[in-house]
Amino acid sequence: MVVMSPSGDVAVQQRDLIVISTILMLLIIVPVIAMTLFFAWKYRQSNTDAPYDPEWSHSTQLEFVIWAAPLVIIIALGALTWISTHTLDPYRPLDRIDSTRPVAADVKPLTVEVVALDWKWLFLYPDLGIATVNELAAPVDVPINFKITSATVMNSFFVPALAGQIYAMAGMETKLHAVINHPGEYEGFSANYSGAGFSGMHFAFHGLAAADFDAWVQKVKADGTNLSREEYLALERPSERDPVRHYGSVAPDLYPAILNLCVDRSKMCLNEMMRIDAKGGGGMAGIDNVLPLNHDKDGRRGGAAAKTFVAAICTTDGDMADARAPAGLLSRWAAAARTE
């Protein structure tokens, strides 16, 4: 029911889209059902007064109604879909607070970096220097800019009162722009099954007046500890039904490191890897990068990590000669593998 009675303008527009689409489709469905029942009653075998025409085969008027009415509905739904797809694009910054108020030019959105973990939610406030686990808060009537990723398998960030669900995926960033218009406490959760602890992956979302939000920020800073990289790596371990946690300070560039899967400094960051690839790869020197490219967290989670890695390319002298490789590189191509 919260989807049909939301408290955020984006969710309200999505609710209206559901209602309008349903009404448009009912314009076809209801008459068809009504006429089906009416024809079954009127042309029943016992009704000898009903017209009987065994040679009937065509009616231009009936064909016009059968094809024209659905066509008009499809055109209306298509236009509605086209407009709403662009208007409600989650990547599109908001241009209004609600149906009567545009976003003021001097309003700065609240940025929240969302990280889906096994099985909890981490929220980072980069402009405020704080972080929370399983608790999210935002001031009323202030645009919120969500940046969403995952440190593990795919999840889905969903606060029904605020806006529609947006997927969270490891190594990728999705976005959501939304606003909450009424103070209150709302439920948030993952809408995509992600394993054993999925059913407890809930959090509270607080819509607060400006003064109350400032007080909440000060409380988080006063109660919280420092979210360092080491603390994050411990937090990243799978756990279920975690209590709310506050962090009064956050390690610099923690979210980019999470996004690029390199909070552990021994790992190569994805953006570094992509930069190397964009420049044509690392050549023979890039072979040494194979070892730190293992982003598997089995070791950190207590499982057995792989021990053997491919670290060089094997070939024959003839192949190398045919390739006209520089003589100085031949010795560098001789290695076959390394063991950790």
What is the per-residue burial (b if ≥16 Cβ within 10 Å, else e) of 282-318?
Answer: eeeeebeeeebebeebeeeeeeeeeeeeeebeeeeee
pLDDT, tens only, 312-321: 556 665 554 4
Lowest-pLDDT range, 60-69, 166-175, 182-191, 246-255? 60-69
pLDDT, tens only, 141-155: 999 999 999 999 999
Q: Is residue 205 part of a domain?
A: yes
pLDDT, tens only, 45-56: 899 888 888 888
Q: Which pLDDT score is estimated for 54?
A: 84
Q: Is residue 1 part of a domain?
A: no
Q: Is residue 277 part of a domain?
A: yes
Q: Mean pLDDT across the stretch 22-46?
A: 91
Q: Which pLDDT score is estimated for 321?
A: 45
Residues 155 and 67 in one domain: no
Q: Mean pLDDT across the stretch 281-310?
A: 55
Whole-model pTM: value is 0.77
- Across all residues in the chain, what is the average pLDDT? 85
Q: Is residue 317 part of a domain?
A: yes
Residues 107 and 131 in one domain: yes
Rounded Cα gap, residues 332 and 311, in angstroms: 11
CATH value at residue 73: 1.10.287.90
Residue 323 confidence (pLDDT) above 50? no
Residues 46 and 115 in one domain: no
Residues 232 and 112 in one domain: yes
CATH value at residue 212: 2.60.40.420
Residues 80 and 111 in one domain: no
Rounded Cα gap, residues 4 and 16, in angstroms: 8
Confidence class for position 305, pLDDT limits 50, 70, 90: low
Confidence class for position 330, pLDDT limits 50, 70, 90: very low
Rounded Cα gap, residues 263 and 256, in angstroms: 9
Residues 223 and 285 in one domain: no
pLDDT, tens only, 85-112: 999 999 999 999 999 999 998 899 999 9
Q: Is residue 113 part of a domain?
A: yes
Residues 116 and 191 in one domain: yes
Residues 122 and 217 in one domain: yes
Range of the domain at 219: 101-259
Q: Mean pLDDT across the stretch 159-177?
A: 95
Q: Is residue 318 part of a domain?
A: yes
Residues 125 and 187 in one domain: yes
Residues 39 and 113 in one domain: no
If we measure between CA atoms, which residue out of 120, 117, 151, 150 comes closest to residue 134? 120
Strand partners, 225: 247
The H-or-E segment that residue 132 falls in is: strand 130-133
Q: Which pLDDT score is estimated for 267?
A: 87
- 259, 294, 323 — which closes off a domain? 259
Q: Which two tokens stand for residue 280?
A: 């044509």
Percent of the chain with pLDDT over 70: 81
Higher pLDDT, 79 or 327: 79
Number of domains the chain is built from:
3
Q: Is residue 93 part of a domain?
A: no
Q: Which pLDDT score is estimated for 290?
A: 53
Q: Is residue 265 part of a domain?
A: no
Residues 204 and 282 in one domain: no
Residues 36 and 174 in one domain: no
